[in-house]
């Protein structure tokens, strides 16, 4: 039996890739608690909750990410995680500040987008109502 020594890990956001590389270990948090994955772990699927995702890279360095909810799939030596929002951190201390700043900015942008969409919907309804009025 061929034993893998590393995993190909991809961490995706809705519009970009946050991380793509090789790792020897992954630690994440699912709704039922923390879990760890090694290269020869059984295939695995889980939801992710807002938390810290940690990777040990093949060169021994550690990468940490602050993530929002998402989904993780491990199949063979490939791990793919898709999350709604995420940021890379240098260390746990600065990660909290980065997450707060970035997620607040994203929340503001989402709120502005929802507001603009609501205005467009209201305008469309008003225009349809005008089309249905007799005599115009």
CA 38, chain centre distance (Å): 20
pLDDT, tens digit, 9 for 90 and up, residues 52-106: 999 999 999 999 998 889 999 999 999 999 998 888 887 777 766 666 767 666 6
Query: Tell me, what's the pLDDT at 99?
Result: 66
β 70-75/51-57 pair status:
unpaired
Kindly list the structural domains of the chain, giving each domain's residue range(s) and its CATH number in brackets, ordered by start: 7-93 (2.60.15.10)
Query: Tell me, what's the pLDDT at 129?
Result: 79
Query: Tell me, what's the pLDDT at 133?
Result: 73
Per-chain mean pLDDT for the chain: 85
The two three-digit tokens of residue 55, written as one number = 């990777």
CA atoms within 13 A on the CB side of 132: 6
Contact of 129 with 121, CB cutoff 8 Å:
no
Closest CA to 86 of 99, 105, 101: 99
67 phi, psi to nearest 5 deg = -125, 160
């Amino acid at each position: 039996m061929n034993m893998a020594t590393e995993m190909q890990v991809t961490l995706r956001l809705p519009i970009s890739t946050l991380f793509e590389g090789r790792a020897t270990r992954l630690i994440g948090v699912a709704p039922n608690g923390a879990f760890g994955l090694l290269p020869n772990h059984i295939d695995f699927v889980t939801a992710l909750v807002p938390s810290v995702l940690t990777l040990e890279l093949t060169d021994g360095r550690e990468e940490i990410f602050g993530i929002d909810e998402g989904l993780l799939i491990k199949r063979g030596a490939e791990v793919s995680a898709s999350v709604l929002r995420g940021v890379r951190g240098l260390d746990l201390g600065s990660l909290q500040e980065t997450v707060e700043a970035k997620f607040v900015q994203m929340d503001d942008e989402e709120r502005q987008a929802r507001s603009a969409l609501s205005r467009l919907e209201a305008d469309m309804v008003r225009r349809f109502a005008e089309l249905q009025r007799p005599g115009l």
